[in-house]
Amino acid sequence: MEFETRAIHAGQDPEPTTGAVTVPIFATSTYAQSAPGKHAGYEYSRTDNPTRHALAEALASLEGGAGSIVTSSGMAATSLIGWSLKPGDHVVIPDDAYGGTYRFFARVLARHGIEFTAADLTTAAGLQAALRPNTEIVWTETPTNPLLRISDIAVLSEITHEAGAALVVDNTFATPYLQQPLALGADLVVHSTTKYMGGHSDVVGGAIVAADLEVLEGLKFLENATGPVAGPFDAFLVLRGIKTLGVRMDRHSFNALMVARFLAADPRVERVIYPGLPSHPHHELAARQMKGFGGMVSFIPKGGPEKAASVSMNTELFFLAESLGGVESLIEIPSAMTHMSVIGTALEVPADLVRLSVGIEHIDDLISDLDRALGSP
């Protein structure tokens, strides 16, 4: 089956008792057993829940994985992988990582004896220079947040596996509709399902999709032991969201490209960062690796940080807010919002950078909104 069909049907057969075509919200903490230890597949909802199970099956199908687990947030998914490490292990992360990812490795796992190196993962040389004999995980985002750099997943996979490590790809920005990391050699895919997978800014969630069932079982053990599971209503909302993922990502990508072209031609703008523009240094790689270029655009207006802040506070349709991937457009200043945790580090984000999550509104209205907010040159 094609992607759009699997998004609606994988793991989502009609409910057998009533015939309901939508997976029900199984709002139960426990399940009756016919005898001690004998049950119908479920015993306690921290371990598994039918609504969450349906979402896990759907996500595994969309990413082409052996299976998946569904967590209470994107950072919960990141944390589970982190807790699979032991003191003395080493991790490579991008030097343009999401602020929360950096904070977890630098300020949480580092206290438990786990080392990390931030490296330029857009080149093979950058990864090779960062690898150590004790490297267990190479963690990449592509596109990265918020500078939208692109890593060659197949190349990173080959180098990572030669070093005896595992490659983890945060696929939140691209989604499985636009990019298939496991097919390119990744071992694990991570999502904040809060973003495009949910798609409506009404749920917080995360997921891990694994290429190997043995690895997945180890992560399932950690999830059950530590408990960062998604509730059934949250799983239901993400299931609802993925049904329209393909059509939404097509519109997000089209709108973002139109916005990027508008900004790139505007004399009030210093720089535009969007993989769909030929001016992007990794445009050809993105075109080869991705089905589309996604809905995220970053830019630097002329006038410095004060101008960037002014633009962010003067849009009407682009709401000034953290997060991304909803049907509505959002604008933010990463250095003052989502990426404050990297201030003073090698990952520090320019103070005049503006990040857009371009929604699915009419493109003419979005461009008019940005035009007004940019104001006079």
Q: What residues pair up with 91 in beta bridges, in sequence order? A: 116, 137
**343 pLDDT tier (thresholds 50, 70, 90):** confident
Quick check: is 46 catalytic? yes
238 and 262 housed in the same domain: no
The residue annotated as part of the active site, out of 52, 149, 195, 307, is 195
User: In the prediction, which pLDDT does 77 show?
Assistant: 98
Quick check: is 268 catalytic? no
User: In the prediction, which pLDDT does 340 show?
Assistant: 87
CATH number, position 317: 3.90.1150.10
pLDDT digits (tens, 9 = 90+) for 222-238: 999 999 999 999 999 99
Q: Which of 242, 265, 284 is the last residue of a domain?
A: 242
* Cβ atoms 324, 356 nearer than 8 A: no
Query: Which domain range does residue 35 map to?
Result: 3-242
pLDDT digits (tens, 9 = 90+) for 346-372: 889 999 999 999 999 999 999 999 999
214 and 254 housed in the same domain: no
Q: Which of 242, 257, 279 is the last residue of a domain?
A: 242
Least confident among 106-110, 205-209, 337-341: 337-341
pLDDT digits (tens, 9 = 90+) for 133-156: 999 999 999 999 999 999 999 999
CATH number, position 137: 3.40.640.10
203 and 305 housed in the same domain: no
The residue annotated as part of the active site, out of 48, 170, 234, 266, is 170
pTM of the model: 0.96
pLDDT digits (tens, 9 = 90+) for 271-308: 999 999 999 999 999 999 999 999 999 999 999 999 99
CA distance 2 to 259: 29
How large is the greatest C-alpha to C-alpha distance in the chain, in angstroms?
75
Quick check: is 371 catalytic? no
Sheet arrangement for strand 269-273: 269-273, 296-301, 354-357, 330-332, 319-320
pLDDT digits (tens, 9 = 90+) for 5-60: 999 999 999 999 999 999 999 999 999 999 998 998 999 999 999 999 999 999 99
312 and 286 housed in the same domain: yes
Quick check: is 220 catalytic? no
pLDDT digits (tens, 9 = 90+) for 167-182: 999 999 999 999 999 9
Give me the mean pLDDT over the 192-202 stretch: 98
User: In the prediction, which pLDDT does 346 show?
Assistant: 83
CA distance to 78, 105, 293, 339, 341, per residue, from 100 (Å) = 9, 9, 23, 8, 7
Tokens of 43: 């015993």
- DSSP, res 353: -
Q: Return the closest-CA partner of residue 241 out of 213, 204, 209, 215.
A: 204
User: In the prediction, which pLDDT does 377 show?
Assistant: 65
202 and 87 housed in the same domain: yes
Give me the mean pLDDT over the 83-108 stretch: 96
CA distance to 174, 250, 261, per residue, from 186 (Å) = 15, 24, 32
Tokens of 224: 């059950």
256 and 237 housed in the same domain: no
217 and 251 housed in the same domain: no
User: In the prediction, which pLDDT does 40 show?
Assistant: 87
User: In the prediction, which pLDDT does 1 show?
Assistant: 92
* pLDDT of 376 strictly over 80: no
141 and 192 housed in the same domain: yes
Q: Which of 227, 242, 257 is the last residue of a domain?
A: 242
* Cβ atoms 184, 289 nearer than 8 A: yes
Residues near 316 by Cβ (< 8 Å), separated by ≥ 6?
369, 372
238 and 351 housed in the same domain: no
The residue annotated as part of the active site, out of 98, 102, 177, 196, is 98
84 and 34 housed in the same domain: yes
Q: What residues pair up with 299 in beta bridges, in sequence order? A: 272, 354
DSSP track, 44-89: BTTT--HHHHHHHHHHHHHHT-SEEEEESSHHHHHHHHHHT--TT-
Tokens of 186: 């990744």
The residue annotated as part of the active site, out of 31, 46, 103, 250, is 46
319 and 213 housed in the same domain: no
Do strands 206-210 and 67-71 pair parallel, antiparallel, or not at all (unpaired)?
A: antiparallel
* Cβ atoms 289, 322 nearer than 8 A: no
369 and 325 housed in the same domain: yes
User: In the prediction, which pLDDT does 345 show?
Assistant: 86
How many distinct helices (H) and strands (E) make up the chain?
13, 12
CA distance 276 to 261: 9
Give me the mean pLDDT over the 250-271 stretch: 98
Q: Domain count for the chain, please give it.
A: 2
Q: Report residue 285 CA to chain centroid gap.
A: 19
